[in-house]
Structure 1
Amino acid sequence: MTKQEKAAQILSDPRNQQEEIKALQDTIYVIGGKWKLPIINSLCNGNRRFRDIERSIPGITTRMLSRELKEMEANQLLKRTVTPNSPVLVEYTVTDYCQSFGDIILEMIKWGKKHREKIRTV
């Protein structure tokens, strides 16, 4: 599928700029910020427990991770499962809804690598 065909499938005809901006703002609200995409990436790489996620993301604080996980759960990007063993086991997993970001995340990683290379050569 060409970019034009993909755009025609997604965008309305005639174009509705307000609708497009609102859709972009909704996306940025849900996955925006410094930590959400790294958290999704960590979960997709197999980290399920709080400490494992925390250790896999340099610079994130315990408080920030806790806040972001709660917000992501509210937006149905991840599922929190509590197993009442002794000690209690809490695990986080991405939802199918979150996995729908997979192609977007891969494209962002690809673009980020190209960008980093571009600014190194300047």
Structure 2
Amino acid sequence: MATASETPVLDTIAAMTIDSVERCNMDDRTLILARVAALVAMDAPAISYLAHVTPAVKAEFTVEQLQDLLVAIAPVVGTARVMSAAGHIAEAFGVALALAEDEAEAIAQAGAESRGTF
């Protein structure tokens, strides 16, 4: 029996993702392209894109490549899905930036407290 968790759904999704990545022989950039294209085709919510921000950054995936991807798949998935995806992607990046800023502030605060200069 599996160990009880406070986040069983997220844990399951994380395990599925790790298993998929380990079994896939694609390079990081191609994997991100495939996953983002699938998210666009499904009209996925912003939270789904948020899970791919860090891997995209690590793979040095650029905004221009993302735009090229959206242009390439627009005739297949349709303009409504592409425009919806653009909004969801922007929202995901906004959330990621806000989280990064909060983390940076917390680190700075902890550093100031450890130096006694708060």
- Which bin holds the TM-score, normalised by the shorter protein? 0.3 to 0.5
TM-score for the superposition, normalised by structure 2: 0.33
Instruction: Decide which structure has greater strand share.
Output: 1
Greater relative contact order (CA < 8 Å, ≥ 6 in sequence)? 2
